[in-house]
Structure 1
Amino acid sequence: MLVDSHCHLDLIDPSLERVDALLQEAAAVGVGHFLCVSVSLANAPVVRGLAARYENVSASVGVHPNHVDQAEPQVAALAELAADPLIVAVGETGLDYHYGADHIALQQTRFRTHIRAAREVCKPLIVHMRDATDDTLRILDEERASEVGGVMHCFTEDWPTAQRALDLGFHVSFSGIVTFKSAEPIREAARQVPAERLLVETDAPYLAPVPHRGKQNQPAYVRQVADCVAALRGMAPAELDAQVGRNFFALFRTARAPRLIPAQTVASP
């Protein structure tokens, strides 16, 4: 089963009618589960509410590194929110230096807070890393993030950087950027990441893949991401789908896995 391991359903359109449609459109192309990721303490209840409404939606809690004007989480409060059974991960957290160095110290402190909360509740991390590779991996190491693991979401680095994340016990997730032919270092990483550590995502509503580039992204478009990664690795699409599904539920251990349908018993004639 294909999983969109990172999307923001509430940021695409908060109306339940639209979310219903988005999930149905994704189901039509074989996407069976979705991780809706929190970016602030303000939107965390909305994200949790979607997980409560839909059995095939999981939720996280965290504050995005770029949201410097948001309420600042403390370890105890964040851990209390993350202990909720509907919350499967802590994040989106991490470091993003793309827009300058004005808030580096704040981002690093907040990142450490998230890692400590994740370790307290024994749930994995969702890590955002942009133009901050060395500091991100150093802080993960210093804070013993390997004890809970997690995913380097929307991976935009090269294979040697992916290896460093793998050495810390993290999975690597590829977004629509991997479909861009100009993104060869990312595509090479997608070829090389061990199968059991591989995830795919949309990061919807951002970063729509080819052939939807420039449009608002949506969970159904993880199909194009998965098919691209399968082609890069020489895998059948169905094989890739099954692998990333297994990987997702192995990493996010408290996510509600799909119920298995018992085999039908056929009476002897």
Structure 2
Amino acid sequence: MSRVEITDSHCHLDFPELNDEIDEVIARALRAGVTRMVTICTRLRNEPAVRALAEAHAPVFYAAGTHPMSVADEPMATLDELLTIAEHPKCVGIGETGLDYHYTSQSAEAQQESLRIHIAAARETGLPLIIHARDADADMARILAEEHGRGAYSCVMHCFSSGAGLARAALDLGFYLSMSGIAAFPRSSELREIFASAPVERILLETDAPYLAPPPHRGKRNEPAYTVHTGQVGAEVFGMDWPDFAAQTQANFARLFSKVPAFEAAS
């Protein structure tokens, strides 16, 4: 039987919980069949360190942006900055960006400005936008649709745990939904129903490591190897055999993050 291979489409390998033992973390991921990882830069001043991780480790790619919860504390990202970063051969996405009104609603206006700048970068580069959304469904759906009307771009709703309305709005624009460990939590039945109603061709897998570890590691530090646990729950949600579901998510990732297979083919 051939090995089941999957991708962790969103993790934070530069965070100290993982970076302090990065070689072991990557080795465990590879042993689990997680053959690619996209590590996410959440503050542009950290981009050189995140880029260095991708340069040093063949399975690692990266994306860069200003996290919405950091917008008030960081210089506003510029389109030129994002376009320059995106030129790197292993930079494969724009973000994470988005809206978070749960803890940082006081910076909502600045978050919206930042989001639109990141969308412009995604549109111009052709790289997928990576969205964080929490307690901001109405504004998020509105801005994504408004900007899509100004010119198409691709997008993944990372660690999707919002309502069915935002899921439908995103899917209607041709976007993707990413399953994190939250989707595997026992009490997440409503979220699993939202995923089940989506086309399986628009589903990605991620950990958001070091956060949100799925069972049986819930409450502990998360890491890319644990993508497998979420993926196996996803296979159940879609009524598919695990190898078939894994292969589908690999095809989905390659379609959305098209710079990755192009880089791999050229290497």
Alignment correspondent of 1:175: 180
Alignment correspondent of 2:124: 120
CA drift at 1:258: 8.7
Alignment correspondent of 2:58: 55
8 Å contact from structure 1 (residues 159, 185) kept in 2 = no
8 Å contact from structure 1 (residues 172, 198) kept in 2 = yes
Tell whether 2:6 aligns with 1:2. yes
Tell whether 2:24 aligns with 1:21. yes
Whose helix fraction is larger, Structure 1's or Structure 2's? 2
Tell whether 2:210 aligns with 1:188. no
Alignment correspondent of 1:264: none
Q: Distance in 1 between matches of 2:89 and 2:210?
A: 26
Tell whether 2:250 aligns with 1:238. no
Report the CA distance shift for 1:256/1:54 in structure 2 as closer, same or farther (over 3 A): farther
1:43 partner SS:
helix
Report the CA distance shift for 1:189/1:257 in structure 2 as closer, same or farther (over 3 A): farther
**Match of residue 40, structure 2, among 23, 30, 37:** 37
1:2-39 deviation per Cα after TM superposition (whole angstroms, max 9, x unaligned): 11010001113324xx2111111111111111111110
Report the CA distance shift for 1:99/1:226 in structure 2 as closer, same or farther (over 3 A): same
Alignment correspondent of 1:46: 49
Tell whether 2:224 aligns with 1:207. no
Q: TM-score if structure 1 supplies the norm length?
A: 0.91
**Match of residue 149, structure 1, among 149, 154, 176:** 154
Return 104-113 or 141-150, whichever deviates more: 141-150
Report the CA distance shift for 1:100/1:93 in structure 2 as closer, same or farther (over 3 A): closer
Q: Distance in 2 between matches of 1:144 and 1:160?
A: 17
1:144 partner SS:
helix
Q: Distance in 2 between matches of 1:116 and 1:53?
A: 29
Residues matched between the structures, number: 258
Tell whether 2:86 aligns with 1:79. no
Tell whether 2:96 aligns with 1:92. yes
2:19 partner SS:
coil
Alignment correspondent of 2:258: 253
8 Å contact from structure 1 (residues 56, 258) kept in 2 = no
Q: Distance in 2 between matches of 1:165 and 1:226?
A: 21
CA drift at 1:156: 0.4
Gaps of 5+ in 2: none
Q: Distance in 2 between matches of 1:177 and 1:65?
A: 20
1:84-123 deviation per Cα after TM superposition (whole angstroms, max 9, x unaligned): 2221110000000001531111101111111111112221
Please give the root-mean-square deviation of Cα atoms over the aligned residues, in Å. 1.7
Which protein has the larger Cα radius of gyration, Structure 1 or Structure 2? 1
